[in-house]
Amino acid sequence: MDFGPYLLLASLEGAVGAAVLALTALGLSLVFGVMRIVNVAHGEFYMLGAVIAWWVTSMVGGHPALGFVAAMVVSPLIVGIAAAAAERLVLRRLDYDPEATIVATIGLLYVIQQLALSTYGADARPVAAPIDFRVQFPWFGYSGYKLCVIGASAVMMLAVWLVLTHTRVGLMMRATQHDPETARAFAIPVDRVYAGVFAIGAMLAALGAVLIVPIQQAHYLMGHDPLLLSFIVVIIGGLGSLRGTVLAAVIIGMSDGIISVFFSPTLAKILATLLVAFVLVWRPAGLFGARPA
Amino acid sequence: MSSTTAPQAQKVRSAITRRTALKGLAGGAALAAAPGFVPYIQAQSSAPLKLGFQVHRTGIGAAYGRWYDRVTTAAAALINEEGGINGRMIEIVTEDDGTDPKRGAEVVEKLASQHGCDLAFGTLFSHVVMGSSPRAGELKFPYFVVSEGHHVASGKLNRYTLQPGITDVKSQVRAMAPWVSQNLGKKVTMIFPDYAFGHDHRDFFSEAIAAQGGEVIEKIAIPPTESSFTRYFPRIPRDTEVIYHVMVGPGVLTFVKELGEFYGSGARPQIFGFIDSLEAVDIATPGLEFLEGTYFWEGMPRYAPADAPEYETFYRERVGVDANGASVSDSKDISTYAHMFGCWETLHVIKAGMEAAGYQGPDDRVKLIEAVEAMTTMPAGRAHPQGDKVFNGKTHQVFGHQYISQVADAKLSVVHTASIDDGMYPDETDYTAQPF
């Protein structure tokens, strides 16, 4: 294949990866930014989103788009409720202690994974794409659905940004992130903001998973890679910085796509990990993270 | 720290009274006397023979594991209906290895030592076989794998590991190469998983196609946990005449779909795949239409041939599979038909071996191995529904027929049957020369 089309394919692949990664990493970053919690179970919320999407689409008959739209609504909702319950039952009781919550979310990771294994089973199951068309370039064909994923993800990220910057809820979240003590003094229900943020973080992961599940299949072990990449993105972008997270997701997603196509996926992972190491050495707070006082 | 814990420790120590100590002793004794912890020592028993089944119930091999499990259960039920082995019923003791090599070795150990099984069988994924077999050898525990890997016949394993129920990759690809080069093309690009099983394909097919005057012009190795494949396809050279693909794990459907998207409606090379890329997947899945007219290797034809012999129909019915290769209870649950016969046939080989050896218990394990090593031809029939076979006692590997099927109307139909001789190759080892 010639260099031009080759680069086009690589960029498309990278953009799809970046789109889904940005959503997932945004959830992780939000939870850390507001609550100062490193949520190791984030990948499992992603997996749960995919599994529920499969479940919803197989219950809803008719055109695949119907089931998919239903999954788009139901799956994040259920995952959000599950995350809020986990926050109430586990994290709050640990007083959001940073170390204790890491261990607790590791536990949560296994609980969710094994629950999925024992109810959903160990198979990878496909979900039909809501739209079925192929873009035929002169050199290769490309799935039309994948192109839609990029658009859908951009719309959702825009929505998150609008909520954070232009609504009361967003203001409360930003206030809590800035200083929970003062926020409480201004009658912000910090407690409920925490539960809400944890749920929204998980819902973003679930949304990313619903988008990806017609491309990949729902499988109980699928949460591992998104977790790793989300951590890479969040560390590079700066924990808690939404701008940084999105930028880092684009960098990592695109470079992963392009390096994987031109060289090998292993090299792409190696370079991403190296980048994390450099960022940690020279800019420990990430590209856009707040400098510790 | 020490000042606060020390008194507590003392308290605990003083809390052990004679009564609790006696209770503990009694409990320990009861535990030791519990069934399963007693080594099997009785000779001439009517107790069931315990066959340990190492199964990929979870992990990347789960789809295969589910069907290996069903076939094993069906085969065991049949053997028991027909009077068992040497007048004794058989009991299948199942342990999940999570398709993980480290766990695999532990499972072998558990089946041998804790469950007191007579032998173990059923492992499929080659990296799990590689991880488990050395432990079976150390324990002097017969281990019948159903794996396709060339590792048995290559001499890498040991005298206690045998593969009498399924042919190995080397034999499969040697049988395929002449047909591929004569009917599809000579310039081949291979796409295969990047571990032992895929490497067997890479090495032996390259060798076999070269012998036919063909050439492998590009080798694309894909990590076994990969979930996105489009990025690998630009590496397929433009002058490729045949794409040879073999993929395993939960990503197989994505792999085939993305291959279809990549070529789209444009010109594409001929495509020859191993059915592994679509085991447990419905050929009629949306997105797979491009497979129409492409070819697959099958270990045993998934779609019942019109002229299926009696034993094939009998086997299909006993394992609960319909004429389209799906479960009779759920038409969406597609079987791993091209591989799972291996469990059925392995159990029948074990039965024949135990009867020939007059097997009574674990003391006769060596006799069992020798009896299986002495086997040569295995006629097609209810015990060997895939077809007749030839067993090589020196390399511990069986040889059989291979099938090439073409996709037509979203079904597979056999277009070529390779003879047993097509898959033969010179011995690479002689396990019988190894001491027990």
Alpha helix segments (H runs only) across B110-150: 126-139
Q: Residue B10's Cα: distance from chain center in Å? A: 55
Q: Give the residue among B201, B169, B205, B195 at the shortest CA–CA distance from B249.
A: B195
Q: How many domains does chain B have?
A: 2
- Closest Cα in chain B to A124: B250
How close A215 gets to chain B, by Cα (Å)?
7
Interface-testing mutation among B222, B230, B239, B259, with chain A (most A C-beta atoms within 10 A): B230
CA gap B393, A75 in Å, rounded: 55
CATH, residue B133: 3.40.50.2300
B262 within a domain of the structure (yes/no): yes
User: Do residues B407 and B394 both lie within one domain?
Assistant: no
Q: CB B62 to CB A121 under 8 A?
A: yes
Q: CB B65 to CB A122 under 8 A?
A: yes
Chain B partners within 8 Å of A136 (Cβ)? 264-266
Confidence at residue B11, expressed as pLDDT on a 0 to 100 scale: 45
Tokens 């766990």 correspond to B103
User: Do residues B274 and B408 both lie within one domain?
Assistant: yes
- Write the pLDDT tens digit of every residue in A135-186: 888 888 888 899 999 999 999 999 999 998 899 989 998 888 888 889 888 8
- Write the pLDDT tens digit of every residue in B141-157: 999 999 988 999 999 99
B318 within a domain of the structure (yes/no): no
Reported confidence tier of residue B338, pLDDT bands at 50, 70, 90: very high
B394 within a domain of the structure (yes/no): yes
B26 within a domain of the structure (yes/no): no
B329 within a domain of the structure (yes/no): no
- Write the pLDDT tens digit of every residue in B356-414: 999 999 999 999 999 999 999 999 999 999 999 999 999 999 999 999 999 999 999 99
Q: Is residue B196 within 8 Å of B145, Cβ to Cβ?
A: no
Cα B221 to Cα A1, A129, B128, B199, B413, distances in angstroms: 18, 28, 19, 9, 29
B8 within a domain of the structure (yes/no): no
User: Do residues B156 and B228 both lie within one domain?
Assistant: no
Joined together, the tokens standing for residue A261 give 């196509």
Q: Any CB–CB contact under 8 A between A261 and chain B?
A: yes
Give B294's DSSP letter.
Answer: -
What is the residue extent of each domain of chain A?
3-221
Joined together, the tokens standing for residue B73 give 């259960």
User: Do residues B268 and B412 both lie within one domain?
Assistant: yes
Tell me which residue range forms the domain holding B254.
Answer: 169-307+403-418
Q: Number of Cβ pairs closer than 8 Å across A and B?
A: 87
* DSSP structure string for B384-426: BTT--EEEETTTTEEEE-EEEEEEETTEEEEEEEE-TGGG---
B350 within a domain of the structure (yes/no): yes
Q: Any CB–CB contact under 8 A between A119 and chain B?
A: no
Confidence at residue B392, expressed as pLDDT on a 0 to 100 scale: 96
B163 within a domain of the structure (yes/no): yes
How close A11 gets to chain B, by Cα (Å)?
10
Q: Is residue A122 within 8 Å of B57, Cβ to Cβ?
A: yes
Joined together, the tokens standing for residue A190 give 């910090």
pTM over 0.90: no
